[in-house]
Chain A
């Protein structure tokens, strides 16, 4: 009697979790904008045997955005998932993997991210800040003012904007803009930049030093800008995954990676 086919894998089986971990690591390793994503749920898994010790695995994953920018060296396990009240962003990913002689590798992935609905947030948290479009005028004004304020105070390198990662606007009780953006050190000190900032260039990859800034500005009534920038220090770039090299690129949800 032919051997009964193996029972279908469950989404919480160890093999499924191992495949999901490889998939999430691949997705984060091949994303150039925005934030790292963490696994929230394995929606489905299908295994297509191709022969002895050779399976094709199709995974449907439900991910959630974390607070770690994609350039952050923080391990994913230490990245906090953005909470519901911070206007969470979900990623839906379809990933095709191969398991050959027990070794998992990703053949293709396609992800689509979308923010939680504002109505859901307002219903449960009327005063929570809501995601704003990255080209919103108040957002751009706050980012420009924050980076300028940091560069005017720092004694370290002059920083340039790489991309705006996220922006929220709180409407009650005080209209406040919250922004997060990625920056990179240039070959100038902040003092040198005061004379001719245009001459300041991003450091070459082998010396690159990326960082991340958060800032908030109360608009009505107007209050001082609060800025906090942290540089990650030099990281050895992964050769096959070019770091961001287009300053000023903004990240928009829903961007497919495939």
Chain B
């Protein structure tokens, strides 16, 4: 029988895997700490 797979499942299977070593870009903010955080 034909069963419709859940979208999430499809998305998961069809999602293009990240290339090995892929590092997601840092979040745009907050920025770098120049001295120290109190």
Chain A positions near chain B (C-beta within 8 angstroms): 8-13, 16, 38-45, 62, 64, 81, 83-84, 88, 90, 116, 120
Q: Give the residue among A11, A81, A90, A120 with the most B Cβ atoms within 10 A.
A: A11
Instruction: Please give, as numbers and ranges, the residues of chain A lying within 8 Å of B38 by CB-CB distance.
Output: 64, 84, 88, 90, 116, 120
How far in angstroms is the closest Cβ of chain B from A157?
36
Cα A10 to Cα B28 in complex, Å, equals: 4
Assess the B29–A44 pair: CB atoms within 8 A: yes
Assess the B29–A11 pair: CB atoms within 8 A: yes
How far in angstroms is the closest Cβ of chain B from A242?
30
How many A-B pairs fall under 8 Å by CB?
A: 50
User: A45: which of B29, B32, B35, B37 is its contact (CB, 8 Å)?
Assistant: B29
Instruction: Please give, as numbers and ranges, the residues of chain B lying within 8 Å of A64 by CB-CB distance.
Output: 35-36, 38
Which single residue of chain A is at the shortest CB-CB distance from B31?
A: A11
Cα A42 to Cα B30 in complex, Å, equals: 6
Given A84-B38, A88-B38, are A41 and B28 also a contact pair (CB < 8 Å)?
no
How far in angstroms is the closest Cβ of chain A from B38?
4
Assess the B29–A42 pair: CB atoms within 8 A: yes
| B19-36 Cβ-contact flags toward A at 8 Å (1 or 0) | 000000000111111111
Which single residue of chain B is at the shortest CB-CB distance from A39?
A: B34
Instruction: Please give, as numbers and ranges, the residues of chain A lying within 8 Å of B35 by CB-CB distance.
Output: 38, 40, 64, 81
Assess the B30–A44 pair: CB atoms within 8 A: yes
Assess the A10–B29 pair: CB atoms within 8 A: yes
User: B31: which of A12, A84, A116, A120 is its contact (CB, 8 Å)?
Assistant: A12
Cα A227 to Cα B36 in complex, Å, equals: 30
Could you list 11 further interchain pairs (A-B, Cβ under 8 angstroms) beyond the known A41-B32, A43-B30, A84-B38? A11-B30, A11-B31, A11-B32, A12-B31, A38-B34, A38-B35, A39-B34, A40-B37, A42-B31, A83-B36, A84-B36
Cα A13 to Cα B32 in complex, Å, equals: 11
Cα A62 to Cα B22 in complex, Å, equals: 31
How far in angstroms is the closest Cβ of chain A from B18?
20
- 7 A-B pairs whose Cβ atoms sit less than 8 Å apart in the complex: A8-B28, A38-B34, A42-B29, A64-B36, A64-B38, A84-B36, A90-B38
Instruction: Please give, as numbers and ranges, the residues of chain A lying within 8 Å of B32 by CB-CB distance.
Output: 11-12, 41
